Structure 1
Amino acid sequence: MSTTPEPDLGTWPTGRLLAVAARLVEHRWAAVLDGMGLTHAGLIALHTLRDGPLPQRTLAQRCQVTDQTISRTLDRLAKAGYVTRTPDPADARRHVTQLTDHGRAVHERAVRAEPAVLGDLGEDDAFRAGLLQVIARLSAADRDQPVT
């Protein structure tokens, strides 16, 4: 019986390494968040709302998702009791979304769960700085690209 040798990850292109690392982290997060009744998108929304209520469109922009995506995410979060949506007093066509106490508690629980997902990497300042640099560089490059 022949066995397939382990791949030499050192030979992989950086983009592939990033994609595999992201997939591994996302799968771990999904399992942890599922136990809290959250999705990754829901966690991002809760995190974005932690500093105060936001109009739904602003929330979508800050989460970098479409209005439709944030609407579906907020529907699930509202059903779970994590957020409330109320008409915007300045414009009744818009809604303002805010965390409930239950939503704030589950967000804090998710933040505390990060070590179970990332281990020591979540506390490695140099690793985090490198990730922030990758995101900033790629985001800047994307903004500089002409729309075709």
Structure 2
Amino acid sequence: MSDERVGTVDPREADIRSWPTGRLLSVAARVVEARYHAFLATHGLTHAGLIALHHLREWPRTQRELAVLCRVTDQTMSRTVRHLSRAGYVGRRPDEQDRRRTRVDITPAGAEVLAMVWEAERGSDRLLGVVDDYEGFRRQLVQLITVT
């Protein structure tokens, strides 16, 4: 009797080139997110922490400003800032104009890890290095996300 099973396809052998583009995009997003998550975790970062550092690179902000910019709740940003602070990537202090608010600023270690992640994103064949035109790819993603 043949060892071949009718109707069973090895996922590694599936011809994904024939899939609809929407499906390809969906799978690519999950694959990249998982790789990125694992990579960031090795540096004590999360996706939320990375985007917070991105928004702190130019100047300090309040936690509320960060939450709005990162499109998360105040509670999520509070946890994210606490995590970044423990990692040494941000500093926190009361706002001088309103002591009820917390000001957050990026530390030298935070700026260093942010630069390292950006460099790895562009140069790693594991993260996004398979992209031929990185800047063009980013423009297309932004356009795809912002189309109304």
TM-score (norm 1): 0.84
Q: Which has the larger radius of gyration?
A: 2
Q: Distance in 2 between matches of 1:112 and 1:13?
A: 28
Gaps of 5+ in 2: none
Q: Quote how far apart the aligned CAs of 1:125 are.
A: 3.2
Q: Distance in 1 between matches of 2:100 and 2:25?
A: 41
Equivalent AA in structure 1 for residue 142 of structure 2: L
2:139 paired with 1:129: yes
Equivalent AA in structure 1 for residue 57 of structure 2: R
Pairing 1:40-119 to 2, within 5 Å after superposition: 40-114=47-121, 115-116=123-124, 117-119=127-129
Check the 8 A contact 1:122/1:128 in 2, yes or no.
Answer: no
Question: What RMSD, in angstroms, separates the aligned Cα atoms of the two structures?
Answer: 1.7
TM-score (norm 2): 0.84
Indicate the residue corresponding to 2:20 in structure 1. Answer: 12
Larger helix fraction of residues: 1
Indicate the residue corresponding to 1:146 in structure 2. Answer: none
Q: Distance in 2 between matches of 1:94 and 1:67?
A: 12
